[in-house]
Amino acid sequence: SQTIHQWPATLVQPVGSPLSLECTVEGTSNPNLYWYRQAAGRGLQLLFYSVGIGQISSEVPQNLSASRPQDRQFILSSKKLLLSDSGFYLCAWSFRGEQYFGPGTRLTVT
Amino acid sequence: GIQVEQSPPDLILQEGANSTLRCNFSDSVNNLQWFHQNPWGQLINLFYIPSGTKQNGRLSATTVATERYSLLYISSSQTTDSGVYFCAVVAIADQGGSEKLVFGKGTKLTVNP
């Protein structure tokens, strides 16, 4: 069966520090992968998606970037965090149109 | 882009009560999913239902694609049903590769014992 992992689960970082969040998927090959952010107010916003290695599409201009160095690995990064980057970051993959989400990383920028 | 509206935004029930959550969307969709976000933040897949009706235990969902809405029914609610329920869609215009989900703002359900 397929599983999706994210780490770390929680992270507290100062403003101006770098960020690297990792997501990996097991049990499938060549999945579509997604990064979403959930800020206060409950809505989820799509940040990036990838249909293959090295193929990244950005949905929202921002302080973040994404990379897909391997088929089942998706990384969210920032060179310098802003206070507004705080939130709950969720990675997802899709199979036959249905999306499945990882456990998320709760990021607090102080 | 496609707009997704959920109602009501908040709902408080007594254990054992039934409820109906609604999701309206502004354009034709290729995919519609209902999720339950538990208190720990985990998004749990409830239904993949671009059209028709499905049932899973006390939960059922109906999507009327031609009228651009979906309903989630919760019967005999339990305290463990508490959390936020999200509807999310993929517009037909976005199909064919990316399958980008657009989320509503959710319905926060509180079930009291």
A57, A101, A103 ranked by CB distance to B98: nearest: A57
Provide, as residue numbers in chain A, all residues whose Cβ is less than 8 Å from the Cβ of B5. none
Instruction: Work out how many domains chain B is built from and give that number.
Output: 1
How much is the average pLDDT of A83-109?
92
What single-letter DSSP state applies at residue B3? -
B50, B84, B99 ranked by CB distance to A32: nearest: B99
CA distance B15 to chain A (A): 24
Taking chain A, what is the end-to-end CA distance rounded to the nearest angstrom?
38
Are B10 and B108 a contacting pair, CB within 8 Å? yes
**Rounded distance between C-alpha atoms, residue A3 and residue B49, angstroms:** 22
* Average pLDDT over chain A, rounded to an integer: 92
Are B54 and B47 a contacting pair, CB within 8 Å? yes
% of chain B exceeding 70 in pLDDT: 94
Select the highest-mean-pLDDT range: B26-30, B48-52, B92-96: B48-52
**Rounded distance between C-alpha atoms, residue A100 and residue B11, angstroms:** 26
Domain that residue B98 falls in: 4-112
Yes or no, beta carbons of B98 and A88 under 8 Å apart = no
For domain A3-109, give the fold: Immunoglobulin-like (2.60.40)
pLDDT of B68 higher than 90: yes
Those of residues 31-90 in B touching chain A at CB distance below 8 A are 31, 33, 35, 40-43, 45, 48, 50, 84, 86, 88, 90
pLDDT of A51 higher than 80: yes
